[in-house]
Structures are given as C-alpha cells and as structure tokens.
C-alpha cells in the first residue's frame, strides 16, 4: 500500500474517531457497570462492516447476489408520502434492504460479544448503541477516505459535519431503540414471570399453551422481530429523506428519536436488574 494511501486512511480514521468519541462519551457515561463490555461491543460493531464489504465485493463475480438489482424493476411505480410528493417504489425497497442488512449486522455484533452478560434492558440498549457507534465509525472511515481520494481534503467539511451530527446519531437511534426490544427478549423469562407482568401478553401465554411451547421463547422471538422491524423502518425513512432531499425533516426526526431513546434509557423497567450473569445464561 502506497504511503499517501496510508496517510489518507489515517486521516479518515482520525476524523471518524471524533464523532465516535463524542457520542460514545454521551452514552458510555450512562452505563454504570460492564464498561469493558461496551468497548468490546464497539469493536465488534466496527468489524461487522467487513462482511458487508465482502458481500458487495462478490457482486462482480456473482451478480445475482446483488439484491439491489431486483429493486430497479419497480422504478416506474410510485407511492405517496403525505403532501411532500411521491417516492419511487425502487427507492423504498432499496433502503428497506439497506436497513435490513445494516441492522441485522449490528444485532449480530451484539450477539457475537457476550449477550449473557445483559442483566437489564438498559444493558441491551447500551450494547446496541455501542455496536452502532462501532459500525458508524468504520463506515465513516470508508466514507471520508473516498472523499479525500476522489475530491480532496478541502471538500471534507460539510460531509464531516453531516456524518458526525446526523448519520452517526441516526445509527445510534435505530439500534438503541432496537436494543430495548432485544433486552426484553434476552430477559423474557424474568420479565414474564414478574408478578406485575403475569397478566400481560395474554395472546402469547394462550398460544404457548395451545401449541405446548415455552411462552418465554415466543415472547423472545416476537420482541427480537419487533425491534428489528422498527429499526429497519426507521433506517429506511432516514435514507429516503436524504434521497428525496427532504433534509429539513431530519432535525425533527432525529430530535424525536433522541427524546424517545432517552426516555427508554430512563425507564425504571429498563434499569431494573432482573438477574445476574449465571441466571441470564439459563434463559438462553
């Protein structure tokens, strides 16, 4: 690798580290314990960008792997969006695929560390946030490097500010909200058996008795699916706003996300310690 290429990568990494450190400090300080696990999850999140790069690299050898080529068939179809205008259906489908790929990758990053150490819903939220930060960090390195290589350092200011303030937090918002549902899934047995919750989720309880299946397993799968779906849709909406140049919607959109994420982190139920490490392992 040439010296100037290495220099560009180092510069891109240094720039990408700035928003990661700032946002990381904001949420990292909220975590009382298991801070080492937060760092490990951050690293895992950054590494899980690599399988996506490999996936894109394989397109040149196996074109049929490119899921986005199939969305092009819907470019002439449109859907209405409030009073702002119309969105081509291929844009909606493309960004739903992007959301699926990236949110699943971040969830895998959390699972790849040590989900058995999750003792509260808050732990799960924090781990998902750190995985998202790691993912955004690696993504920003690639993004900044491409700008430096193709357009020069002088064209970095606007992308740097935008990626730092909006795109990085957007990843945090999507995964943090997903983390709330993932935490409920991991601690499903403890949550469902709590006296205050024994009359909740009657459909799951009834259905589990009908099919003779553990209710906490059904609850677990439902919450994981629910969290992933919400994160994917939020991710797709953010990208659609950018694609349609509806940038004026980003501030209220992300502000609302920050308020809701803060609310989830501050919920008493989210901060309640349900079990220790060993009992958490028994739930899995």
> If DSSP codes are grouped into helix, strand and coil, which group holds residue 166?
helix
119-154 pLDDT, tens digit per residue, is: 888 888 989 999 999 999 999 999 999 999 888 888
Determine the Cα–Cα distance for residues 82 and 76; give it in Å rounded to an integer.
19
Determine the Cα–Cα distance for residues 134 and 127; give it in Å rounded to an integer.
11
For residue 106, count other CB atoms closer than 10 A to its CB.
Answer: 29
Q: For residue 85, report the phi and psi dihedrals to the nearest 5 degrees.
A: 145, -155
User: Residue 277 above 50 pLDDT?
Assistant: no
44-72 pLDDT, tens digit per residue, is: 999 999 888 888 888 888 887 787 777 77
For residue 114, count other CB atoms closer than 10 A to its CB.
Answer: 17
Determine the Cα–Cα distance for residues 68 and 191; give it in Å rounded to an integer.
40
Let me know: does 147 contact 208? Beta carbons within 8 Å: no
User: Residue 278 above 60 pLDDT?
Assistant: no
Let me know: does 105 contact 52? Beta carbons within 8 Å: yes
User: Residue 218 above 90 pLDDT?
Assistant: no
Q: Where are the domains of the chain?
A: 3-283
């Amino acid at each position: 690798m040439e010296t100037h290429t290495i220099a560009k990568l180092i510069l891109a990494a240094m720039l990408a580290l700035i928003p990661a450190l700032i946002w990381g400090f904001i949420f990292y300080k909220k975590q009382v314990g298991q801070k080492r696990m937060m760092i490990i999850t951050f690293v895992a999140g950054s590494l899980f960008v690599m399988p996506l790069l490999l996936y894109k690299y394989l397109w040149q050898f196996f074109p049929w792997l490119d899921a986005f080529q199939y969305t092009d068939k819907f470019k002439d179809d449109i859907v209405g969006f409030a009073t702002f205008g119309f969105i081509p259906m291929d844009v909606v489908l493309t960004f739903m695929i992007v959301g699926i790929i990236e949110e699943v990758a971040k969830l895998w990053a959390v699972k790849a560390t040590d989900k058995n150490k999750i003792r509260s819903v808050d732990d799960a939220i924090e781990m998902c946030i750190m995985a998202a930060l790691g993912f955004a960090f690696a993504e920003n390195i690639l993004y900044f490097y491409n700008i430096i290589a193709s357009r020069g350092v002088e064209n970095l200011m606007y992308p740097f500010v935008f990626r730092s303030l909006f795109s990085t937090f957007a990843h945090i918002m999507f995964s943090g909200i997903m983390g709330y549902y993932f935490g409920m899934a991991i601690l499903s047995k403890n949550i469902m058996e709590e006296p205050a919750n024994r009359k909740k989720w009657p459909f799951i309880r009834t259905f589990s008795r009908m099919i003779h299946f553990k209710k906490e397993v059904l609850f677990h799968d439902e919450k994981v699916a629910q969290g992933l779906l919400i994160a994917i849709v939020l991710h797709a909406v953010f990208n659609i706003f950018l694609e349609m140049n509806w940038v004026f919607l980003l501030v209220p959109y992300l502000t609302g996300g920050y308020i809701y994420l803060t609310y989830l982190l501050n919920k008493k139920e989210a901060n309640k310690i349900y079990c220790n490490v060993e009992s958490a392992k028994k739930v899995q």
